[in-house]
Structure 1
């Protein structure tokens, strides 16, 4: 099985049969594209340069030929001289307005100044240079056809070897990229061989600087996985312990009912409390599981009155606490659209935490202030108590699962505020813990975004 994973990781890097372009192919394609564009640009640029430079060369050549032949014309004695026909060359000479020399099929008037220009005779382009000196004038022309052929030959001779070099470079680059990706292939094999039971940090044995950030990220991921596994094991241990203890007490109380010297009412009350604790812990675990499914929270939403739900939860949870003084502030009604069970989880855990930890050390009473407000798109739920509060150094930790503030004698699994935090995050909100300015204990403020109607 591990061997199959190794083959898959290697194919992902260099085998196109996976259906996606491999990393090696991406590198070769991009470098090859850059080289191809560079080669084409160089061809176009060089062709343009050669084209203009050869034209300048021919123009200069016609000027030199004109200077050479005008000396011959000035000497005289060549009246009516006709040279051998040359299809790519033209020569006309005048002495005292008389045409004394001619070569080629050109019909031009006597020039009167020095000039070099292009002209078209039939289907051919010619480069003409004229020169006048004393009583002599000369006109020399060269057909441009030869230059065009010369330019094409030069470009081919120059860039055909470059094309061969380009192909050889691509082949060499393919080998180089394959060799360069070998450390990445090795790392992929190590990752595929890693298991949950054996998470050891990876080492960069190739000393490749570019792979170091990836290796560090993988090692950090492994540390996070280890921490998560530890939390999951703690979760199972806590479940076992928290459920086993009340169930054991429950069984013991049932067995004690057969003892005649005991008060049956007292035993029944203990049985009831133990059973209620089992139900409360089980409900917390179920709430925690649901709070992690944020997609489910988004799908299951109804329109209801959040303030009315808050009042119902207060009546349900506070009426059995004779020593509780509860006040409600803020809005009387607030229509929201959300998952009512999720909102019930949040409110229930906030009130239960306040009842369990908000007892005043002075008179033993529990004083609570609950409020519900709306600010633009944010819905704010706040609960304050008069207990001992939570030190600032522990406030960010109590939002994590299974964490309990040291030194508190109250029983619990450390799940209440973590459930509130998970549900709140699912609605794009936040949980803030602070000191209550009015009661002196803990103030928990929950903000929920986008649920107000």
Structure 2
């Protein structure tokens, strides 16, 4: 990932509440506190010590020059000016007097008295301060500015040298021995967030990888996550997620077993109920009773279909490890199932059509599961097609495998509902036919076991829905 893309991702993360933002803010606060502490220490050190004022060797050199050149005023002033320039150059970090701007504020100023007479003043901006106590640092305020001064007197003559430095704020925030350390830190503080962001991004990368793997998981995949990581904080989280998956898997297994057992138990009484209802229907001659028995038989048929669908769904979801795959002629299988649906199509006044490209077409699959898949797709297409409509089934080879498409001429399914119709017991609010809402859930479970996929779209040869199934290989 480039620095630009990483910066963009970081800005997006900082724009919304996230762990990344919290860590970045924590690092920024930490850097600010460290800088504040360093600044406080620097200010404290600058207020208690001064390398220039506390250096007696500088005073000794100034007094020596002033005494030795006392009879040569011009040379005396020139030598003292060079010494002051040298001190300011050191403080400014410049190499020579020419490198220092002419309008730069002075950091060191010098006053020299001989026999109570001022013989040298390094700048007109320097206040005329004369101490009565020697070798003591004092603060003097002049015209709203505070200066720190120290004076030493020659042991052999009446010569006095006074060094003057500006107030504390200017002294700290300029390019001198302390400023060279503080100012770069102050200037580079915003840029320190880039490596901080990179370190946070690297620290969160294992979490992002886990998030991506969770997002790619199929809802029915309950296998534990196998993530090789040495991140101590992530291992307990992965272990907890795997434990949750194991609990959900066991709960789903118990649920399937309960549904299967209940469906098995219901099949026998439903069958007996239908036999008795049909027997009574044939024996009675009363039209009112026959009508009631017809309604009872229809309800029994719907209940039996629901039980069979529950059994099929439970079987499909539990046979992932026991499913036996074999080479099957898909074209023959579809042709046989369409023949079985011919009576139902005649009842609804719907015509069935089969289009096969490049027969024979063979796939690897489970026979019973594929029958369930075809039956549910064709059954839905017939029921939702209008009287006089047509259901067209196409089988063809495509680049990556085999394609099965079922077209109808019904009302279709709204685009925002095409994913939800695969949920158990879900029915479109505007559905015109009765049903259990399990047909497409069974289709999806069969396709998941065969590594196939299904897409719902607008039909290209009719006005209804097209259900396209793609078998890989």
Structure-1-length-normalised TM-score: 0.43
The answer to which structure, 1 or 2, has the higher relative contact order (CA under 8 A, 6+ apart) is 1
